[in-house]
Amino acid sequence: MGLGVRAGGLQLKNPLILSSAAYSSTAAGLRQHVTRGYAAVVTKTTTTTPLAGAPKPTVFWYDPEEKNLLSGAEALRNPGADRMVEAIRRTAELAEENDCKIIGSCTGNTMEEILSICRRFEEAGAAAIELNMVCPSTGPHLGQEYACLGKWWVDDTDRAVELINSVKKAVQLPVWSKLPLAKLIDKSFLEALDSKAGADAYCFVGGRMPNLKIELATGKPVLPGNLLLRMEKGLPISPMVTGPVKPSTILHTAFLAKLSRTPLVCSGGLTRGTDILEAVMAGAAAVQICKAVYRDIKAGARMLEELREVMECHGYEEIQSLKGRVLASLPDPPLLTVPGAKYD
C-alpha cells in the first residue's frame, strides 16, 4: 500500500507529521519520536536564546477525564538555539535510518535572528524549516524579548513576504510557513503570499465552524439536502453548522485548497486514521498532530495502522492519488464560504 506523499518540497513516507510541542524540545524527545512511524517531526519552536515562556499553568486539560480540550499557551518556551541545534545533530542519523525528516521550527525578534537559526538548523541536519508566524500568546507583556515573535511577523503583509523570501535565500531547504487561519482566509493576504513569497507549504490549525464531512468510500461531501439545492442554484453554501474541531479543519483545508496552489499541512482535532484520509481528500498534502500525542504517546502508530485499514477497506492503493478528491464536488469560493473570509 502506497502511503508516500509529496509535501512542501519533501518526499515523505506517509502523510503524518508530529507537530511542534514540548515533547520535541530535546534530543531525547526527538530521538524517541523519529522511531514511531512519523514521516517527519517538527522541533519545538526555537529562539536565539532560551525563553521561560508564560507563567504556569501553560499546558493542561480543561476536561482531564475525557481529554478532549487541551490548553496550550506556553508563549514559546524553548531551550534556545544552541541546545536545539545540538538536539537535531544528535538525532539526524537516527532520523535518516527511520526515514523520518526533522523539520526545524523557529522564530525571532529580528530577521537576523531567524536567518541565523535557520542556517544552523540546515547545518545540523534539518530537512526543512517551519517558520512560526502564528503563536498568539507572546507579546511585550512578557518582556521585550517576546515583543516581535510568532504572530508579529504576519501583522504586516510586506513583513511576512520579506521574511519568507529572506529565509528562502538563506538556506537550501524547503521553507514552510505556519500561519494564523484568520490570515490565510483573508484573500488579499493569501494572494500576496502566493504571488510575492516563495513558501513551499502553508501550515495551519483549523477549528472554526462550520464543518465538512467527506464520505470516504466516494470522496464526496456529506451535505444536507438544503445545501445541495443551494449548490444546484449557484447560491453560497456553508457546510454543516455544528460539530467538533476536526470537521472544521477539513472544511478550511478544502476552502484553502480551492484558493491556493501552495501545499497545505493542516492540523486541529485529527485523532484517527480516517481523519488523515479526509484531510488528504480535502486537499492537504500532509497533516500534523499534537493533542492526540498528549492523550496517547502511541497515537501516531495507531493512526497510521487505521489509515492502512481504511484504505484497504475501500480498495485504495495510493494515498497521493486521493489528494483533493472532494474538491470537484464543491463550488469555488466565495460560493463555498467559511467564517470570517475576506474577499476585498
- When divided into structural domains, the chain yields a total of 1
So what's the pLDDT on residue 270? 96
Q: How far is it, in rounded angstroms, from Cα 184 to Cα 236?
A: 20
Would you say 94 and 31 are in contact if contact means Cβ atoms under 8 Å apart?
A: yes
Which residue type, as a one-letter code, is found at position 155? D
DSSP 264-319: EEEESS--SHHHHHHHHHTT-SEEEESHHHHH-TTHHHHHHHHHHHHHHHTT--BG
**Least reliable range by pLDDT among 16-30, 197-211, 293-307:** 197-211
CATH number at residue 163: 3.20.20.70
Three-state DSSP class for 112? helix
H or E element: which one contains 102?
strand 101-106
Q: 26-79 pLDDT, tens per residue?
A: 999 999 999 999 999 999 999 999 999 888 777 778 788 878 777 777 889 999
Q: Quick check: is 340 in a domain? A: no
So what's the pLDDT on residue 293? 94
At 73, list the grid cell.
499557551
At 181, list the grid cell.
487561519
So what's the pLDDT on residue 280? 98
When pLDDT is cut at 50, 70 and 90, the band that residue 242 belongs to is low
Q: 71-123 pLDDT, tens per residue?
A: 777 889 999 999 999 999 999 999 999 999 999 999 999 999 999 999 999 99
Of 327, 329, 341, 334, the closest CA to residue 228 belongs to 329
Of 173, 165, 152, the closest CA to residue 196 belongs to 165
List phi, psi (to 5°) of 52: -80, -20
Residues whose CB falls within 8 Å of the CB of residue 121, separated by 6 or more in sequence, listed in order:
84, 85, 88, 104, 106, 129, 171, 173
H or E element: which one contains 70?
strand 70-72
Q: Quick check: is 339 in a domain? A: no
Would you say 329 and 15 are in contact if contact means Cβ atoms under 8 Å apart?
A: no
Q: Count of CB atoms within 10 A of residue 168's CB? A: 18
Q: Quick check: is 212 in a domain? A: yes
Q: Could you tell me the pTM of the whole model?
A: 0.94
When pLDDT is cut at 50, 70 and 90, the band that residue 240 belongs to is confident
Q: How far is it, in rounded angstroms, from Cα 89 to Cα 10?
A: 19
CA 223 to chain CA mean position, Å: 26
Average pLDDT, the chain: 94
Q: Quick check: is 343 in a domain? A: no
Q: Quick check: is 35 in a domain? A: yes
Q: How far is it, in rounded angstroms, from Cα 251 to Cα 221?
A: 10
Q: 263-314 pLDDT, tens per residue?
A: 999 999 999 999 999 999 999 999 999 989 999 999 999 999 999 999 999 9
Give residue 286's domain range: 5-329
Q: Quick check: is 135 in a domain? A: yes
Torsion of CA 96, 100, 101, 104, to 10 degrees: -110
**Least reliable range by pLDDT among 45-59, 245-259, 323-337:** 45-59
H or E element: which one contains 17?
strand 16-18
**Least reliable range by pLDDT among 40-49, 61-70, 180-189, 320-329:** 61-70
So what's the pLDDT on residue 241? 63
So what's the pLDDT on residue 276? 98
Q: Quick check: is 93 in a domain? A: yes
DSSP conformation class of 260: -
Residues of the chain above pLDDT 70, percent: 99
So what's the pLDDT on residue 244? 77
So what's the pLDDT on residue 60? 77
**Least reliable range by pLDDT among 92-101, 109-118, 227-236, 315-324:** 227-236
CA angle 330, 289, 210 (to 5 degrees): 35
Q: Quick check: is 198 in a domain? A: yes
DSSP 197-254: ---SEEEEE---SS--EEETTTTEEE--HHHHHHHHTT--B---S---HHHHHHHHHH
Task: Decide if pLDDT at 139 tops 90.
Answer: no
Of 236, 249, 239, 317, the closest CA to residue 283 belongs to 249
